[in-house]
Structure 1
Amino acid sequence: METAARDAALFEDADFAADDSSLFSDYATPLSQLVSGITWLRPQHICRDPCLFPESRPEAYPKQGILGDCWLLCACNMLLKSQALLEQVMPPRQCVWGERGYRGEFRFRFWHCGVWREVLVDDRLPCTNNTLCFSRCHSTSAFWVALLEKAYAKLHGSYEKLWAGQVCEAVVDLSGGVAERWSLKSAVDTPTGRSLLPELSEEMRKRSYISCCVHSTPAGVSVLGEFHALSVEEWTDVNTTSGGRVRLLRIRNPWGRRSWGGAWNEGGVGWSSLDPSFSQDLLARTQQGEFWVDETEFQQDFDEVTVGYPISDDFHLQSIYTGSSLPHTKHMCGRWVKGHSAGGCRNNSSYGNNPKFWLRVGEAGEVLMTLLQCRWSSQRSYTQLPPGGSKSTAQHTQYQAIALHVWKVDRKHFNLVQTLNAEPCASSHTHAYEREVVVHTHLSAGLHLLVPSTFTQGAEGDFLLRVYATSPVGLSAVKVKAEPQCVGGDWETVMVSGRWTAGSTAGGGRNFPSHGQNPRVPLTVTYDPGGTNVEVTLRQHSSENDLQAIGFHIYKVTDSEAVSMVISGAVQPSVSCVPHAHSQEVSVRCRLPPAGYIILPSTYQPDCSAEYTLTIKHRIHRKALSSQECLGQTIQEISHVSVMSL
């Protein structure tokens, strides 16, 4: 009776109930076979003395159950390498079983779209035959993995939503940092076009979090199947008895068993090439579920790696390329809106409509930029935490193909059209169906233009732009004049300088017979996407005390009339900037149909001498680029399941 009363007083999470609604979303995975076969038990009903963490660290490592979330469990290994990260995700001093104040509730934090979000769960866990059916620790009495998995499932909407995913996404969600995916099969997919292995220094191999995965069944290891993720725990170079040198990698399988039959498994032929003392030492380092492979095996049998950037205890990123600290950070949110700021890739004339950002770099140095598309995976509400960063139900397959391009610019002489038609100084190379794309580069001091884009024009979505650098940086949105009625195309700018000369080209306004003597500036309109497509500005170069009354008229002409057309008071202009004004500058914005035109700038009174500059902006189809963009490889989801004996 006392036990029943205590259990009745424990917290029960109504937002993530202990029933099928928390297990399933659409019954589209093999998990649907468990319908009505699950019981929910608290840890004290599963084992005698439950705890969060066992005394032995190897016993704390995750072990996969019948849920295909090896991608999440590999990222959980990262938390065991950093106490600071572990306490960020799982706040310390929570009341556990047997302690006074225990209520059966646990808090976790996940970094989600720029914000650390707190998720509260009860400790009722899905079981079959009184045993956890999903993830657990190697120690059957430790429950930090099972509880974290439940909180992450709540964040996503259900356990089923964790079936298939990317290690890099889980690494970011558990750290708030940055992770990169590198192919081991195609050099063009790597950041430098070279093999991964030489890229990482010995220090970075120790400090970075590294995972590897197979996309297809490795030769002779049929039990692994396809799309399975594993963790790289150690890299070491050892001397062979023949005087050579071999690089070995210790791999951890989240299934908790080795499942590997290569040359370096226990009893494999590889060990005979080493001094017996070295062999014994290396084999003694392996824990349950771990095995060794050499560099050649690794390259041949694994398809890609995920590398998580190291994070210091004060939460500064460290470059995996140089080891430098990247303490200066800036984050900004943005949105692609159809018909306004969803310009698509550089193949489209509307590319310039995409959101644009100024990045100011204080000193030349290393810069890491990421573009993350924000899609909420659950409609539930969570507590937003200060500060750790700034709704839809989309799955990975609904990600947009995204990319980030960077140009060095001189703000004083900035021309958007010319800039976007030039080669960027850095980019993510191709649009990819990834949640986040990463650009690592070195930038000179000064101003840079950042343009995030989707591959498809009109594709909508929210995004987060992140910048990490070795020197101070500034990040701000490029402010542009609103063009709500105009879609497609880019602005081309032409500047023409001239002079009104008394007795020659100073014809005055339309009230005077000499009006036609004013300078004539040709304008050809070729593109009318709707809305404003022409902007003309006339500026006189006179002192404030000598300003003339200035204005201009735009006349429609044929090609043959551009020079010879007689302009009198009877000829009506298509557009006029009147009345003439005693100001330094006058302008007009208008919509003109495609045709030939001439612009007549004038002073109001004839025979008034002055110099001027006429600036003409008009919409054009964007110039073709020398290289056309193509989509990157489709994202591969890591989802392999281990059949667990219960």
Structure 2
Amino acid sequence: MERGGKVEDDEEDLFVDSEFPADDSALLSDSSTPICKLKDSITWLRPQEICQSPELFPEDISLGHAKQGLLGDCWLLCACTILLQNKHLLNKVIPLGQPLWALLEKAYAKLHGSYERLWAGQVSEALVDLTGGLAEHWSLRSLGNDEDHSKEQKTDLVRRKSGRALVKLVKDNCLLACSTNSRPAEEASELSQYHALNVLECVEVSTTSEQKVNLLRIRNPWGRCCWDGSWIEGGHGWSTLDPLCAMGLKSRISQGEFWLDEEEFVSMFDDVTVGYQVNQTGHLKSIYSGHTLTHQHQLTGEWKKGSSAGGSRNSNRYSTNPKYCLKVRESGEVLVSLLQHKDNKRIVKSVQNIFEDLSICEHQHYHAIALHIWKLEKKRFNLNRVLNKAPFASTHCHAYDREVVLHQELQTGYYLMIPSTYQLEAEAQFLIRVFSSSSTSLSTLESPALPLPLTIGGEWDNNYFQGVCGDIMESTGVNIKITLRQTTSEKDLYPIGFHIYKAQDGMSESRLPVDDEPVASCVPHCYNQVVFLMCHLHPGVYTIVPSTYEPDCPANFSLCISSRVHRKIVKCQEKLGKPIKEISCTSLMQN
């Protein structure tokens, strides 16, 4: 925890973190949340000044409830409670000898830039950050129009939405949290706001009429009950059970915990977060099959404007997105995760309406992302032909999530994976992770050095002119359009044109072959802002020489080289998912 900070020479001096000092710079980023009211009025205390024996989590879980104050980070508190239930994960996050809960919150605030940046978020994000594993965010409400999804996707979505599936996940000891997005104001305070809670266990009981009922034990991070359904103290549900059974279940609940049945759970909560179990060796356990995913690979990537930010499949520049090859050596279960890095510069500041609607913040700092996979017949392939076909598997839409996860059973062979943003030219860095039950390998596919369309700037001056060199790689040649634009006002136009020369074998690319006959020319020179030429070029290296008709005509110009991508019409166009809601309850925790 001392890395990046400063410690005085005297061993008795206490640690001071110079990168995250105890002042308002650590508290606030843009003053866009209610905690800005605390500026200049915060007293910073060391752990031993708060309590005599500070502990992150005591041995008795019931005494370890986090008390949420003004900071709307119940989503983080839920992830912390899950750590408490998995001590081997907790030991990876908290250094031995520093058992203070507030230290974990401070470290997470430092990672995000300030405490204010912890206002509103997703349990799934905190869970991934704290465990290094995977988590999926499932909606219990509308998942979109059924006709928007393929048969396989609809089956998967319906299964996720099923309460039975959730019950099985709890019984399999998966890491589970639930959240509310909106409720009528007359309902219980926490559940009428944007709040996250933990799912601790599920038990199946039989009523006196021999009906099976699944009961789920829920914990409120605030440490108090916020539910008044059939299974609260004195609720009519207990009268349907054997008294001994009812007494045993009631004895399990601690402060802030309550029981509800499966039907109440599905009707009450809007979303669930399902975290993958991480075993002692760091391997994930699949929530779909229960198998241990013993193989893992990861690669970083970037969508870069002008080169690799090709947008969705609706765009004719989709093929310029980063591409990855997945080799499956043995058939088995595969999970592919696409995680984008947060861009805090994109967070919209609403300083004028600071307190009007702070219970929900949409993902202004995330792009809508998706992942598509194609099955390849062989390792070498024609990209355009592959992209003309429907994907073998994909996420069901571009989602405004930090991370999207694709689960699939894959046979032996090669697979092309393309991560994309919905918006063209959207820039971001990302991480691709692959978890599998069988042997796999992951590699980056290099894109051509000069992807089309390509625009190059240049200048004519009194003593110099420059040619542009390009390499045509297609085995059968390519039809291209070359456009020359002079960047001057219409009253100062020069007559312009260009010639295209093919470089001879062994010829240096720096030597301009002006003594040779051009293979194509855009002449005569014209007094136009823009001139262009359509031509077919065979494989080889070419030099394009733009020129003015007369010498000594200084001007700036741009040269654009483009080609038509012949692609079949895709019947199912890409869909854009709805912005997800971040969890942030604004009420103060009262004792």
Decide whether aligned partners of structure 1 residues 404 and 487 sit closer, same or farther in structure 2, where only a CA change above 3 A counts: farther
Deviations 1:452-477 (A, max 9, x none): 00101111111100000011111111
Report the AA paired with residue 34 of structure 2: P
Aligned equivalents of 1:226, 1:155: Cα separation in 2: 27
User: Out of 366, 391, 399, which is 2:333 matched to?
Assistant: 366
Question: 1: distance between equivalents of 2:16 and 2:447?
Answer: 51
Rounded to whole Å, the distance in 2 between the matches of 1:234 and 1:159 is 31
Query: How far is 1:622 from its partner?
Result: 4.0
Q: Hey, what does 2:573 align to over in structure 1?
A: 628
**Conservation of the 8 A alpha-carbon contact between 2:225 and 2:258:** yes
Shift of 1:621: 5.4
What SS is found at the alignment partner of 1:285? coil
Preserved CA contact (<8 Å) 1:400 1:455: yes
Per-residue CA deviation, residues 244-289 of structure 1 (Å, 9 max, x unaligned), is: 1111111101111011111111111111111111111111111110
Counterparts of 1:428-507 in structure 2, within 5 Å, are 428-483=395-450, 486-487=453-454
CA spacing shift, 1:576–1:399, aligned 2, 3 Å: closer
- Separation of aligned partners in 2, 1:527 and 1:420: 22
Amino acid at match of 2:30: D
Q: Which structure is larger by alpha-carbon Rg, 1 or 2?
A: 1
Partner amino acid for 2:582? E
Equivalent position amino acid for 2:130 in 1: L
Of 140, 150, 156 in structure 1, the residue corresponding to residue 106 of structure 2 is: 150
1:312 paired to 2:291: no
Q: Is the 8 A contact 1:486 1:530 kept in 2?
A: no
Q: State whether residues 246 and 294 of structure 1, in contact with CA within 8 Å, keep that contact through their aligned partners in structure 2.
A: yes
1:172 maps to what in 2? 128
342-351 or 32-41, which moves further after superposition?
32-41
State the distance in 1 between where 2:578 and 2:123 align: 17
Q: For residues 103-252 of structure 1, what are the structure 2 equivalents within 5 Å?
A: 144-187=100-143, 191-194=156-159, 195-199=161-165, 202=168, 205-217=171-183, 221-224=187-190, 225-252=192-219
Cα shift at 1:576: 8.0
Secondary structure at the aligned position of 1:40 is classed as coil
Contact 2:54/2:100 (<8 A) preserved: no
Alignment match, 2:7: none
User: Structure 1's 313 and 218: CA in aligned 2 closer, same or farther, altered over 3 A?
Assistant: farther
Equivalence for 1:605: none
Structure 1 residue 31 displacement after superposition: 1.2
CA-based RMSD of the aligned residues comes to 3.6
CA deviation map 1:53-79 (0-9, x unaligned): 424232123232221100000001121
Out of 307, 324, 327, the residue aligned to residue 291 of structure 2 is 324
Change (3 A) 1:621 1:574: closer
Which TM-score applies when normalising by structure 2?
A: 0.75
SS at match of 2:340: strand
How many angstroms does 1:21 deviate by? Answer: 1.6
Inter-partner Cα distance in structure 1 for 2:474 and 2:110? 57
Given residue 149 of structure 1, which amino acid in structure 2 is its aligned partner? E
Change over 3 Å in CA distance of 1:77–1:574 after alignment to 2: closer
* One-letter code aligned to 2:182: S
What is residue 83 of structure 1 aligned with on the other side? 87
Give the deviation of 1:236 after TM superposition: 1.2
Change (3 A) 1:526 1:485: closer
Q: 1:333 to 1:167 in 2, by over 3 A?
A: same
- Residue 22 (structure 2) pairs with residue 18 (structure 1): yes
1:480-514 per-position Cα deviation (integer Å, ceiling 9, x unaligned): 321156359xxx99988xxxxxxxxxxxxxxxxxx
Q: Which range moved further: 267-276 or 51-60?
A: 51-60
Provide the aligned length of Structure 1 versus Structure 2.
488
Q: Return closer, same or farther for 1:417/1:9 CA change in 2, 3 Å cut-off.
A: same
Pair 1:443–1:32, CA change in 2 (3 A): same
CA-to-partner distance for each residue in 1:8-41, whole Å, 9 max, x for gaps?
Answer: 8222222222222211111111112222332112
Residue aligned with 1:330, SS: strand
1:417 Cα deviation from its structure 2 partner: 1.4
For residues 376 and 388 of structure 2, the distance between their equivalents in structure 1, rounded to whole angstroms, comes to 13
Structure 2 CA distance for aligned equivalents of residues 576 and 23 of structure 1 = 61
2:44 is paired with a residue whose SS is: strand
Deviation at 1:291, TM superposition (A): 0.7
TM-score when scaled to structure 1?
A: 0.69
Q: Deviations over 1:91-129 (max 9, x none)?
A: 22x2xxxxxxxxxxx5xxxxxxxxxxxxxxxxxxxxxxx
The one-letter amino acid paired with 1:211 is A
Conserved 8 A contact 2:169-2:287: no
1:333 aligns with 2:289: no
Q: 1:576 to 1:357 in 2, by over 3 A?
A: closer
Distance 2:473 2:213 in 1: 61
Partners of 1:152 and 1:376 lie apart in 2 by 16
Report the counterpart of residue 253 of structure 1 in structure 2: 220
CA contact (8 A) 2:473 2:540 kept: no
Contact 1:367 1:468 in 2 (8 A): yes
Question: How far apart in 2 are the matches of 1:575 and 1:63?
Answer: 70
What is the rounded CA distance, in whole Å, between the counterparts of 2:25 and 2:235 in structure 1? 47
Are residues 233 and 457 of structure 1, via their aligned partners in 2, closer, same or farther at CA, if it must alter by over 3 Å? same
CA distance in 2, matches of 1:375, 1:149: 19
Distance 1:643 1:412 in 2: 58
Cα distance per residue 1:381-427 (max 9 Å; x no partner): xxxxxxxxxxxxx9941211111000001225622112112111111
CA contact (8 A) 2:338 2:419 kept: yes
Q: Secondary structure at the match of 2:88?
A: helix
5+ residue gaps in structure 2? Answer: 1-9, 145-152, 346-360, 456-471, 486-499, 503-517, 522-533, 546-561
Question: CA 1:7 to 1:530, structure 2 compared with 1: closer, same or farther past 3 Å?
Answer: same
Aligned partners of 1:624, 1:575: CA distance in 2, in Å? 24
The whole-number CA distance in structure 2 between the counterparts of 1:42 and 1:217 is 39
For residues 233-312 of structure 1, the aligned pairs below 5 Å read: 233-312=200-279
Deviation per residue, 1:201-225 (Å, 9 max, x gap): 7476342100000011268524123
Distance of 2:244 and 2:185 partners within structure 1: 30
Structure 1 unaligned blocks of 5 or more: 1-5, 95-105, 107-142, 379-393, 497-522, 537-552, 557-572, 578-585, 593-616
User: Could you say what secondary structure the match of 2:447 adopts?
Assistant: coil
1:619 paired to 2:556: no
* Stretch of structure 1 that moved more, 315-324 or 257-266: 257-266
Q: Does 1:640 align with 2:582?
A: no
CA contact (8 A) 1:264 1:292 kept: yes
Find the counterpart in structure 2 of residue 122 from structure 1.
none
CA contact (8 A) 1:210 1:232 kept: yes
Q: For 1:39, what is the secondary structure of its paired residue?
A: coil
Alignment of 1:380-399 (within 5 A): 396-399=363-366
SS at match of 1:620: coil
Give distance in 1, aligned partners of 2:391 and 2:185: 42
Question: Partners in 2 of 1:529 and 1:186 — Cα distance?
Answer: 48
Q: Is the 8 A contact 1:74 1:254 kept in 2?
A: yes
Contact 2:284 2:293 survives alignment (8 Å)? yes
Q: Report the equivalent of 1:602.
A: none
Distance 1:529 1:341 in 2: 22
